[in-house]
A and B are shown apart, each in its own frame.
Chain A
Amino acid sequence: MSFYIDTKRIIKIGFVNFWREGVVSAATVLVMVTTLFVIGSIVFAKASLDSTLKQIEDKVDITVYFKSGISESDILDIRKSLLNLEGEVKEANYVSQEESLERFKQRHENNSLITQSLEELDNNPLGAEINIKAKDPSQYEGIANFLKNSQDKYGTIDKINYFQNKAVIEKLTKIIDSFRALGFGISLILIIIAVIVMFNTIRISIYFSREEISIMRLVGATNSYVRGPFIIEGAMSGIFASIITIALFYPFLLWVNPIAESAFLGINIFEYYIDNFIQIFALLLFIGVFLGSASSYVAVRKYLKV
């Protein structure tokens, strides 16, 4: 018996049933839209959270203050050895004595006492600095120790502000890590709930067809011939639901974008949606089709025992 004819008939029956069951199909699609909307929202929330945490991480840095009068080449040597710590140091920016004086003046231009006392000094009281950004906040301690122990042989380093800010940096690192873990946990729970709700919806819709399933078996249809159309229907619900969901995100994100931009740092979710449209749609489509057909497969099995 030809596989081709069977497949063709199964697909046709699936399409026709999906159409004729009208209200039931629409309800299934609706529930699936809810599921996919939750999953899509998690994708967008994760993008926002990631970019926010990234930005916070970027704000963390440590500065090495050198004693005044250290030659520029010595400092640049230290900078070079820092940059050699591959996998740890992302940036190490050299700030010369003059630049650091300029910055200091700028920062305190409204404070007449400081500007006045600066003017009374003949030479530059500030030393040069190196500004270090690590790839990961947890690496600052290692970098600071590296500087203090191996590089400061001649007492060139005045201070490293890591040791003042240690508590704050550690706290921030912990907060960032726990936000990531929390985000992952919440996403996981939401996804599990959404999948269960969808699976049950499909199960109920197939429960109403249990009589039909046994009739089909009794008139001589094989298990796969009975099951096939249900899987097609499930997959079709997934296709429709993913199209509706990706379309719904357009107005939704347009509305939510200004609110989100002030709550999270930097990221424009709407642009993120437009830029990654294909990938997000493909993800929703895959999840929709997979969940729809897999749920049908499992749900029909129960009634195929006749």
Chain B
Amino acid sequence: MIYFDKVSKIYSKNSVAIEEISFTVEPQEFVSLVGQSGAGKTTLLKLLLAEESPTNGKVFFESVNVHSVSKGELTEVRRKIGVVFQDFRLLPNKTVFENISFAMEAAGKTDEDIKNDVPQVMDLVGLEDKGWRFPNELSGGERQRVAIARAIVNQPDLIIADEPTGNLDPLNTWEIINIFKKVNELGTTVVLATHNKGIIDSLNRRVITLEGGRITRDDKEGRYIL
């Protein structure tokens, strides 16, 4: 599903984000990327989303090289990937409902589908009665739930989460992780970047460890080891 082929991202001689990284992710896997800040986790995800281009190497998503497609095709690819960021990145002057429905509208779904699916997703992440709030009226945990709802509402093949719990308290962290687990059980591939030891150790799923821009470990049922 995801295939990184000897990918490097070099900003300058002294600033190498990732170097010669290769790995594969199979459909319906739940993969955690771990590593300290600056290890290259975020760069890796940005390359996958084609938010940045690699200096060397190729990145494939469902056998499409995401850096050699047209803008239109890239938009199609992105509709199959749901993204969750550490800083939520919600649209500030849209309500919770509109933030979630925006992804569907942009994908050209019908009004009926939107009316059906958005409340269902809001139920799934536990935001039933918050549809008319604006992001600045929500707590951090609630905002992250909105972001997750937005990411999953188009039933993507893959969810990418970049430190989704970095700004949350322990209780919310667990609830968010449980949502990801649920989404994964429903058949969606999840790639989770984090440096939260507790999460990794309890998940007991595949762990890819990054250090200084290189993969140092790749364990099937890994733990947080640095």
Q: Residues of A with Cβ closer than 8 Å to B? A: 1-2, 5-6, 9, 17, 20-21, 211-212, 214-223, 225, 306
B13-40 interface mask toward A, CB cutoff 8 Å, 1 = contact, 0 = none? 0000000000000000000000000000
> Would you call A215 and B89 a contact (CB within 8 A)?
yes
Complex CA distance for A214 and B49, rounded to whole angstroms: 12
Q: Tell me the minimal C-beta distance from A171 to chain B in angstroms.
A: 63
> Would you call A218 and B105 a contact (CB within 8 A)?
no
Most chain A beta carbons < 10 A, residue from B72, B106, B110 = B106
Q: Tell me the minimal C-beta distance from B53 to chain A in angstroms.
A: 11
Residue numbers in B under 8 Å from A221 (CB-CB): 75, 102, 106
Q: Tell me the minimal C-beta distance from B76 to chain A in angstroms.
A: 8
Chain A interface mostly: helix
> Would you call A2 and B108 a contact (CB within 8 A)?
yes
The interface size of chain B toward A, counting residues with CB under 8 Å, comes to 24
Complex CA distance for A154 and B153, rounded to whole angstroms: 102
Residue numbers in B under 8 Å from A306 (CB-CB): 51
> Would you call B72 and A222 a contact (CB within 8 A)?
yes
Given contacts A20-B93, A21-B93, contact A218 B49 (CB under 8 A): yes
Residue numbers in B under 8 Å from A225 (CB-CB): 106
> Would you call B102 and A219 a contact (CB within 8 A)?
yes
> Would you call B78 and A219 a contact (CB within 8 A)?
yes
The 5 closest A-B pairs by CB, nearest first: A221-B106, A1-B108, A220-B79, A220-B78, A20-B93
Q: Residues of B with Cβ closer than 8 Å to A? A: 49, 51, 71-72, 75, 78-79, 83, 89-93, 102-103, 105-108, 110-111, 150-151, 154
A218's partner among B83, B110, B154 (CB-CB below 8 A) is B83
Residue numbers in A under 8 Å from B72 (CB-CB): 222
Complex CA distance for A223 and B73, rounded to whole angstroms: 12
Closest residue of chain B to A220 (Cβ to Cβ) is B79
Residue numbers in B under 8 Å from A2 (CB-CB): 108
Q: Tell me the minimal C-beta distance from A127 to chain B in angstroms.
A: 84
Residue numbers in B under 8 Å from A9 (CB-CB): 105
Complex CA distance for A20 and B151, rounded to whole angstroms: 24
Can you name 26 A-B residue pairings with CB atoms under 8 Å? A1-B108, A2-B108, A5-B110, A6-B108, A9-B105, A20-B93, A21-B93, A211-B89, A212-B91, A215-B90, A216-B91, A216-B102, A216-B106, A217-B78, A218-B49, A218-B51, A218-B83, A218-B89, A219-B102, A219-B103, A219-B106, A219-B150, A220-B106, A220-B154, A221-B102, A225-B106
> Would you call B106 and A223 a contact (CB within 8 A)?
no
